[in-house]
Structure 1
């Protein structure tokens, strides 16, 4: 648990050591602080102690041993090795021993060992880079951030490793099955400014989806309320105040060569078209749900209308949804920026 900041009465007047200690603890309280550095592209895990009296070893071993996706070699000896290396610490940097007794509510930091993952067989092209930003063309099947069973095969970790930029962090997220433009910040001091753009809906986004062709009086705007329960794969449309807004800007039938290219992947298909979508909001699965509800689910979607088994995933058969463009006014320079994915809809 973070130690209390010493009061002026307790600090020895003129003691540089006391003043330095106070300054360090104030820094440690900042949002996003971690006492362990990013290592091999991975952040340390932070876990809050739920009850008093636990030893550091019993707490960390419980977290490691109860992981759903656990590396086969991450055993008791591997956990003890973390302690021997001084890699189990409190928020203030205090190094814990296996028999250290933890205080309820304190935060413990340590490194997890990722379980083996199926490699995503695609590169992550860099579309643009400057001192603050890196813009990537995220491929299908690659999560944005580490989560659950997708840890190292994520855009953030793979780009951190390939570029050497350990502080690289996404300013927004794309669904794992969605490809396209993904904006990263390179420095934590500017991260908040760009994340705020997305939080305040100050970024214009355009997506392209492929689905069965149905003539439409586009542009048309879909407004609905999406409800998604954490842990459940599908979201649902429910009654209530709309929280998801998407504009269908245009529908264009694919060329015969594009149709043939997609049928080579998916088998025979009805006439297909490219749907250009502009979401105003960013709810999970918003575009996928809106396309499904409108009667034209996205080609290759393994969740809408039918949830396919996880082990049936084939990384040569994508869901055809691409985040095509991002446009915004740069919060630091005031410059108008537009980034465009170079990925092809027909994969």
Structure 2
């Protein structure tokens, strides 16, 4: 079920939407006591500066004061700011479709979907808002930052749940492509069903297969063997949408996707990604029957995985990015 929309939302600033924080009971009396504790990315001095600049708003849009009692508020609005300059992602998304209901983009590798963590303006959502001037854009579904391909955004907030319901009801057909090691002993095509769960401890970013009722299903087909490279191109048809589903399941089968820095071994986060070696995973197609217009929608990425071209394997070209 979607979260109820607030009665008022501040306008975007340079494509960045305002964030909302709910005030909770705790050992704080005033807003300047609460904010650094609840949102410690900024210290008290940082929050005081933002409040004095009018960048923290009450639910009705009024700029607040630092000494206001927490009990006077249920929610506050603010705009995220990064402590360090944000690196520019040197690749652009391509628009595949725009109408009154949907915006469809062909996302490049390395570009995050939405603001999170160290990423704010260098995200697909913010870029599209600035390009199209549509402040109400919201993702119908998501792709990992490392994955390229087709992404659908809804335009109207009151239609968002109608489209997202298609995903919940498994009424969306998705086709992915991946480059991974070739295992001649692996019988394909196959429906791979397993139970995925997050690892504990330092490897929490990884999903892994555990005993129990399957919660992730993917149909895997061999598209072609890439010459003598020891690699192959696979077509993947996810029937469910678990976190890292394709990456974790292929790794569990002994064919981890080329360029994956999470599977099978979790590697350290790079301050600046190596753009020469993107994850060889592409969201190739997405199709569904539109619940509002009745049209059959089918969107196809125009990108390609360079390693799918056997002539480029072993010649220093690891992938086409951007």
Normalising by the smaller structure, the TM-score range is: 0.7 to 0.9
User: Normalization by structure 1: what TM-score?
Assistant: 0.79
Question: Structure 2 vs 1, CA of residues 284 and 149 (structure 1 numbering), >3 Å: closer, same or farther?
Answer: same
Asked whether the 8 Å contact 1:328–1:336 carries over to 2, the reply is: yes
Picking from 311, 322, 325, the partner of 2:282 is: 322
Q: Which runs of 5+ in 2 are unaligned?
A: 307-319
5+ residue gaps, structure 1, are 1-28, 260-269
Is the 1:114–1:152 contact (alpha carbons within 8 Å) kept by the matching residues of 2? no
The answer to which of 78-87 and 143-152 deviates more is 78-87
Equivalent position of 1:234 in the other structure: 206
1:1-347 aligned at under 5 Å gives the runs 30-51=4-25, 53-63=28-38, 66-67=40-41, 76=45, 79-103=47-71, 106-115=74-83, 116-215=85-184, 216-228=186-198, 232-254=204-226, 270-311=229-270, 313-346=273-306, 347=320
Taking structure 2 as the reference length, the TM-score comes to 0.85
RMSD, aligned α-carbons: 2.4
Contact 1:49 1:104 in 2 (8 A): no
Asked which structure has the greater CA Rg, the reply is 1
What is the distance in 2 between the residues matched to 1:336 and 1:325?
13
- The whole-number CA distance in structure 2 between the counterparts of 1:105 and 1:55 is 10
2:222 and 2:232 in contact (8 A); partners too: no
Task: Give the paired residue count.
Answer: 299
8 Å Cα contact 1:218/1:251 also seen in 2: no
3-state DSSP of counterpart to 1:38: coil
